A = this chain, B = another copy of it.
Amino acid sequence: MADGSSTVHARALLQQCLHAHLQVRPADGDAAAQWVEIQRGLVIYVCFFKGADKELLPKMVNTLLNVKLSETENGKHVSILDLPGDVLIIPQATLGGRVKGKNMQYHANSGKEEGLELYSQFVSLCEKALAANSKCAEAGVAVAHGTYGNRQVLKLDTNGPYTHLIEF
């Protein structure tokens, strides 16, 4: 059995991908939908709970960008910074749901404004971390991210998503 942590402030789900496309703006009249795309990288779905504080964010960024889950061509596992690879951050408040009967309840989720603020800062800190890493800067890898509050239309191509859950 696994022991649950007593207080969860944020939840991150990690998947490894060959390619990922995420819609960041839906089609609107004559305007086509807009997408972002990453190659050979890490997808981070993130959700914040009530009581999550921005003090948590540097620790989250440090853990998620340094955990060794990305596979090299030799089959070794390294961090996304060491691969190096792109990062796609997807706001996924649904990860905060708790099942009750046939429905999910999201009572523990952060409010919309707090969630947006935390999400935006989380993205920004990830961008800074990649920019500050010389290996990443040389390789030209980047952080892409979804638009908070939108439908996260995602297409994912993997060599095994190697899905992991990390709570903070």
Contact = CB atoms under 8 A, between A and B. Distances in A.
Interface of A: 1-9, 11, 13, 45, 49-52, 63, 66-69, 79, 92, 94-99, 102-104, 108, 151-167
B11 A7 contact: no
A49 B91 CA distance: 28
A99 B166 contact: yes
B156 A151 contact: no
Contact of A152 (B13, B97, B104, B160): B160
Contacts of A102: 66-68, 79
Contacts of A79: 102
Contacts of A164: 94-95, 97, 99, 104
Nearest to A51: B1
Number of copies: 2
Contact of A11 (B8, B52, B165): B165
Quick one: which of A3, A7, A167 has the most chain B CB within 10 A? A3
A148 to B, nearest CB: 14
Contact of A13 (B6, B9, B163): B163
